[in-house]
Amino acid sequence: MSAFLSVRDLRKTFPVSRGLFGKPELLHAVAGVSFDVPAGTTFGLVGESGSGKTTIAKMVMAADEPTSGGIVIDGSDIATHGKAERFAFRRLLQPVLQDPYSALSPRMRVDRIIDEPLRIHRTYSSKAARAERVAYLLDAVGLPASAAQRYPNEMSGGQRQRVAIARALALEPRLLVLDEPVSALDVSIQAQILNLLRDLQDRLGLTFLLISHDLAVIGFMSTQVGVLYLGRFVEVGSKETILSDARHPYTLALIASAVPEADAAPVTGEIPSPLSPPSGCVFHTRCPVATDRCRQEVPSLRQLKPNHLVACHFAETTRKETRNA
């Protein structure tokens, strides 16, 4: 199957100045990331703050320009887009962000919020046709027709996220970038939104790029999972592989934090500054099984078995060792 979204060796470097006259240092927010997302599937990016997951999402949405590397969506390289193509591209891809409150204008009624992309892109010739589309979208995301007459501040967090999803769907996009879509919501509402997203994916054949720090959410939604640490993948594989046969000590630690009875050794310390990433394996400062080799030699992202990549020198033995550590 050919990929709907294809990311190749993506890099993003920010210059960070030290003081007024200091020489700017380079912060490698994303340091060479590649992945493919076949149409109709979900790729889950999981990582902690500073792992580069939101920077990747921004570049995929063309809200930020890559320093190098390529992003191909539906067969077209987004770096080569002219103004007209960029405009059309917006219909193909829509974001759903963490905080629906800041994503929705407080001065606009819900029907206008959902109608706005339709007006901008002139997809419907008549007002009546647009109104019909708005009503259809409200129904599709599980909101009553009366929601159209309300303002975002009159709604709960879950309802607002439904409005944001309805607006994202207005132009019939094929790819949704979901950046922490449920982290701001309560547990009982999270489940409703996650189910809704899966329903919509099945019904409309949508492709998802999902970003979350919550491995349980990633596991529920994703087909394929990439674990990010300091701007690079430490492990990539199918959901089943990552959840039941993970090999990187960092993935194992993330799993341990999501399963109460897990017995992996705890990870010490905090994520290092991306301004001065550690030598060798970037994770060695926190790894329970690191050796001298890890401190010197950068592990490549190597294939352990089909559709399972791990960047660890000791991927073959980590599962046993982290337990004994």
Indicate whether 138 belongs to the interface with another protein (CB under 8 A): no
What is the nearest approach in angstroms of another protein to the Cβ of residue 34? Answer: 25
Indicate whether 267 belongs to the interface with another protein (CB under 8 A): yes
Of the candidate residues 125, 146, 244, 324, the single one contacting another protein (CB under 8 A): 244
Find the angle CA(168)-CA(169)-CA(172) to the nearest 5 degrees. 125
Of the candidate residues 260, 276, 306, 324, the single one contacting another protein (CB under 8 A): 260
Q: Could you tell me if 267 and 251 are in contact, meaning their C-beta atoms sit under 8 angstroms apart?
A: no
Of the ranges 19-27, 76-84, 183-191, 297-305, which one interacts with another protein (CB under 8 A)? 183-191
Indicate whether 200 belongs to the interface with another protein (CB under 8 A): no
Which x/- pattern, by CB under 8 A, does the window 44-63 give for another protein?
----xx--------------
User: What CA–CA distance (Å, rounded) separates 175 from 95?
Assistant: 9
Indicate whether 195 belongs to the interface with another protein (CB under 8 A): yes
Of the ranges 18-26, 37-45, 57-65, 187-195, which one interacts with another protein (CB under 8 A)? 187-195
Of the candidate residues 114, 148, 215, 294, the single one contacting another protein (CB under 8 A): 215
Helices (H), 183-269: 187-204, 215-221, 239-245, 249-258
User: What CA–CA distance (Å, rounded) separates 129 from 113?
Assistant: 16
What is the nearest approach in angstroms of another protein to the Cβ of residue 262? Answer: 9
Indicate whether 243 belongs to the interface with another protein (CB under 8 A): yes
Q: Could you tell me if 47 and 242 are in contact, meaning their C-beta atoms sit under 8 angstroms apart?
A: no
What is the three-class DSSP state of 128? helix
Indicate whether 227 belongs to the interface with another protein (CB under 8 A): no
Indicate whether 161 belongs to the interface with another protein (CB under 8 A): no
What is the nearest approach in angstroms of another protein to the Cβ of residue 165? Answer: 16
Indicate whether 191 belongs to the interface with another protein (CB under 8 A): yes
Indicate whether 102 belongs to the interface with another protein (CB under 8 A): no
> Applying CB under 8 A, what is the total number of residues that bind another protein?
40
Q: What is the strand order of the sheet 232-238 is part of?
A: 93-96, 175-179, 207-212, 42-46, 224-229, 232-238, 308-310, 302-305
Strand partners, 235: 227, 310
Indicate whether 253 belongs to the interface with another protein (CB under 8 A): yes
Find the angle CA(91)-CA(190)-CA(5) to the nearest 5 degrees. 30
Indicate whether 204 belongs to the interface with another protein (CB under 8 A): no
Strand partners, 37: 5
What is the three-class DSSP state of 7? strand
As a dihedral over the C-alpha atoms of residue 56, residue 61, residue 65, residue 71, rounded to 10 degrees, the angle is 70
Contacts of 236 (CB under 8 A, 6+ apart): 35, 224, 225, 226, 227, 301, 308, 309
The amino acid that residue 189 corresponds to is I
Indicate whether 256 belongs to the interface with another protein (CB under 8 A): yes
Of the ranges 19-27, 63-71, 77-85, 254-262, which one interacts with another protein (CB under 8 A)? 254-262
Indicate whether 321 belongs to the interface with another protein (CB under 8 A): no
The amino acid that residue 63 corresponds to is A
Of the ranges 59-67, 113-121, 247-255, 293-301, which one interacts with another protein (CB under 8 A)? 247-255
Interface with another protein (CB under 8 A): 48-49, 156-159, 186-192, 194-195, 198-199, 213-217, 219-220, 243-244, 253-260, 266-268, 270-271, 286
